[in-house]
């Protein structure tokens, strides 16, 4: 997303949440929803997101969860008083996205390590292939969510794109090995391994 011009500062949605202390599951549910949507925690019960459509549903779900738990939610529109305030807030939001991208990249690394292990141990089964495919789909969903939330274009985004493409390529290689292994055996289960 392009940077906002000084004449049209970006608005932020600020959500102030007050929940009963017990049961704690309500606090956790609201916290999870806001973390999932990528909201920036500003302090005890105060969250913010840029005022763009990608965040609207998550904020609404957090409000509904709060109200169902007998709590109160106040949703405000805010902007910095000075241009430097808006820049600082954008930097804080982008730093949170950089942390998300770093976590994503670490999980991609774990996925590739897992594929390497399966290849090293020649674990070429359909069950393992399906498990690895589900893991790759989880990474793809996560990547889509991160791209949608990363409205200011954190630097980690490009690395995330490359790493996901690498994971997909590694999965294709593993798939080919599984199918080659399975087709190397005859109908009675005997045959030479590749």
**C-beta of residue 17 within 8 angstroms of C-beta of residue 64:** no
Would you state the structure tokens that stand for residue 41, as one six-digit string?
């925690």
Listed in sequence order, the DSSP H helices in 121-187 are 126-149, 156-183
Burial zone of 8 (CB within 10 Å; 0-12 exposed, 13-18 middle, 19+ buried): exposed
Residue keyed to tokens 């589900």: 134
Residue bearing the bigger pLDDT, 62 or 86: 62
40: β partners: 48
Within 10 angstroms of residue 9's Cβ, the number of other Cβ atoms is 16
Mean pLDDT of the chain, nearest integer:
89
Helix (H, G, I), strand (E, B) or coil at 150: coil
Say what the pLDDT of residue 184 is: 81
Q: Residue 2: pLDDT band by 50, 70, 90 thresholds?
A: very low
Pairwise CA distance, residues 125 & 178, whole Å: 6
Beta-carbon contacts of residue 71 (< 8 Å; ≥ 6 apart): 17, 18, 19, 20, 26, 30
To 10 degrees, the CA torsion angle through 83, 84, 86, 87?
Answer: 120
pLDDT at 188 over 60: no
Q: Residue 80: pLDDT band by 50, 70, 90 thresholds?
A: confident
Q: Residue 10: pLDDT band by 50, 70, 90 thresholds?
A: confident
Q: How far is CA 122 from the centre of its chain?
A: 31
Q: Residue 12: pLDDT band by 50, 70, 90 thresholds?
A: very high
Say what the pLDDT of residue 92 is: 94
- Answer whether the bond into residue 40 is a cis peptide, omega within 30°: no
Query: Lowest-confidence range among 4-8, 18-22, 138-142, 157-161?
Result: 4-8
Pairwise CA distance, residues 80 & 92, whole Å: 13
pLDDT at 72 over 90: yes
Say what the pLDDT of residue 192 is: 46
Interval 13-70: pLDDT, tens = 999 999 988 888 998 999 999 999 999 999 999 999 999 999 999 999 999 999 999 9
**C-beta of residue 38 within 8 angstroms of C-beta of residue 52:** no
Say what the pLDDT of residue 27 is: 87
Question: Is the model's pTM score more than 0.75?
Answer: yes
3-state DSSP percent of the chain in helix, strand and coil, to 5: 60, 10, 25
């Amino acid at each position: 997303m392009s940077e906002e011009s000084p004449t049209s500062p970006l608005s932020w949605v600020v959500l102030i949440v007050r929940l009963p202390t017990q049961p704690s599951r309500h606090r956790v549910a609201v916290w999870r929803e806001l973390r999932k949507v990528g909201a920036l925690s500003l302090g005890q019960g105060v969250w913010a997101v840029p005022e763009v459509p990608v965040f609207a549903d998550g904020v609404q779900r957090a409000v509904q969860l709060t109200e169902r738990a007998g709590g109160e939610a106040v949703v405000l529109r805010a902007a910095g008083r000075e241009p430097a305030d808006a820049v600082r807030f954008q930097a804080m939001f982008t730093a949170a996205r950089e942390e998300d991208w770093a976590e994503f990249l670490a999980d991609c690394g774990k996925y590739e390590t897992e594929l390497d292990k399966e290849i090293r141990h020649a674990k070429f089964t359909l069950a393992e292939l399906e498990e690895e495919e589900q893991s790759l789909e989880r990474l793809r969903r996560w990547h889509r969510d991160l791209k949608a939330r990363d409205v200011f274009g954190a630097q980690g985004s490009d690395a995330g794109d490359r790493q996901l493409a690498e994971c997909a390529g590694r999965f294709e290689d593993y798939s080919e090995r599984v199918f080659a292994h399975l087709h190397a055996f005859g109908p009675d289960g005997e045959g030479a391994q590749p």
